């Protein structure tokens, strides 16, 4: 959470307009500057210790293809993690709602 802590320090609070300008220049969005500033103010009210978590996507193995290494995600465990942590819907997502690409064995 060091990045969040750093962004939320007093010295960076005054840079929110600068951050939103940079964001607006480098990200394509239909949000207005005013809307982005509103979201930035909402972020400032978050507690980095309670409101942020880090997760690692569960994997089932490793492989390589044409000299590149890959981590194979565990479909069932990824679905479970998403449903427990970030699923914004009323009902759980399932395997037909997501696309996890794997090479055929």
DSSP 16-80: HHHHHHHHHHHS--S--HHHHHHHHHHHHTS-HHHH-------EEEEEEETTEEEEEE-HHHHHH
Q: Structural domain boundaries of the chain? A: 2-51, 59-97
State the pTM of this model. 0.57
Convert the pLDDT of each residue in 11-44 to its tens digit: 666 777 787 778 778 888 888 878 878 887 888 8
User: Which pLDDT score is estimated for 105?
Assistant: 56
User: Which pLDDT score is estimated for 94?
Assistant: 95
């Amino acid at each position: 959470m060091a990045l969040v802590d750093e962004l939320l320090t007093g010295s960076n609070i005054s840079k929110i307009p600068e951050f939103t300008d940079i964001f607006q220049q480098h990200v394509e969005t239909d949000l207005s500057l005013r809307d982005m500033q509103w979201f930035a103010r909402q972020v400032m009210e978050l507690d980095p210790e309670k409101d942020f978590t880090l997760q690692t996507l569960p994997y089932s193995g490793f492989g390589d293809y044409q000299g590149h290494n890959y981590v194979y995600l565990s479909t069932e465990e990824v679905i479970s993690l998403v449903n427990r942590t970030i699923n914004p819907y009323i009902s759980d997502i399932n395997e037909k709602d997501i696309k996890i690409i794997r090479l055929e064995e």
